[in-house]
Amino acid sequence: MDALGIIAIVLAVVGVAGGFLPVVPGPPLSWVALLLVYLSDAAKDDVSMTALIVWLILAVIITIADYLLPGVFTRLTGGHKAAEKGATIGLIAGLLFTPIGMVLGSFLGAFIGEYMAERRDVFHALKAATGAFVAFILTTGVKVIFSVILLWQVLVHLF
């Protein structure tokens, strides 16, 4: 196996971790890993240009959705920016206690942010936190599934 193949495997694994970690762009890294397999001489099976383009389009869509959906879901449930910011802060704080801490931190952060920012209404804050939480679970799940599939593709093409 050549250096590109080894780097591709490392990037694909980091891409899967990026599905969980908010600061690591999982889907784009996973796609770059597949691109490196395409460029590698060590690939046992060639990656088609069509596959690269399709995976690139999906990576871009997923990455954009990851930034937009939390705000959309929070607003759909009556929340404000404070709930969205609180969810992000709670997620980062919850990294110390992964994976439950990330999920719980995101929900609690959104709840506290909405509760403190607006009406101090528990029901309203709970509703907004639920929207932020659903968006977090949805986008995280899609990112992880996408990155795991590309990790599998990298391994299949290299071995």
Residue 139 near residue 123 (C-beta atoms within 8 A): no
Read off the pLDDT of residues 41-80 as tens digits, 9 standing for 90 and up: 888 888 999 999 999 999 999 999 988 888 788 888 888 8
Number of domains in the chain: 1
C-alpha distances in Å from residue 108, one per residue of 50, 82, 130, 157? 43, 12, 10, 42
| pLDDT tens digit sequence for 17-35 | 999 887 899 999 999 999 9
Distance CA 110, CA 125 (A): 8
Instruction: State pTM to two decimals.
Output: 0.84
Q: CA torsion sign, 102 to 152 to 34 to 67?
A: negative
Q: Supply the range of the domain harboring residue 83.
A: 3-158
